[in-house]
């Protein structure tokens, strides 16, 4: 009588451990940063030094701008000013990589 209980308890512990392990792996591979609130106003372009796109796993597509002060500001990727800033930063970046002749 004692052995079946112990076997059932062992199986239960094993199943719970497997569930916990797989959930931990799923969370580790999830997005690092998602945006849920967005900048109300356009931020000054001179303060923006870079950007990244949020993961496709995030519920809201967004752009994460990095400022000179090191702050990260979420902006809607559909806003016109956001698209302009991305084009500006990309052209600035490609201009820096062009070797001088």
- What dotted CATH number matches 31-101? 2.40.50.40
Q: Would strands 62-67 and 48-53 be described as parallel, antiparallel, or unpaired? A: antiparallel
6: which DSSP letter? H
Tell me which residues of the chain have a pLDDT lower than 50. Answer: 97-101
Q: How many CB atoms lie within 10 A of CB 63?
A: 22
Cα 73 from Cα 81, distance rounded (Å): 14
Q: How many CB atoms lie within 10 A of CB 50?
A: 13
With vertex at residue 51, the alpha carbon angle to CA 72 and CA 33, rounded to the nearest 5 degrees, is 55
Q: What is the pLDDT of residues 86-99, one digit of tens each?
A: 999 999 877 664 44
Give percent of the chain above pLDDT 70: 71
């Amino acid at each position: 009588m004692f052995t079946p209980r112990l076997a059932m308890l062992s199986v239960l512990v094993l199943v719970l451990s497997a569930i916990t392990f797989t959930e931990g792996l799923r969370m580790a591979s999830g997005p690092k940063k998602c945006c849920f609130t967005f900048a109300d106003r356009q931020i000054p372009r001179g303060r923006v030094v870079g950007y990244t796109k949020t993961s496709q796993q995030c519920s809201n597509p967004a752009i994460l701008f990095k400022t000179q002060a090191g702050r990260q500001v979420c902006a809607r990727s559909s806003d016109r000013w956001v698209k302009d800033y991305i084009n500006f930063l990309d052209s600035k970046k490609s201009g820096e990589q062009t070797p001088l002749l």
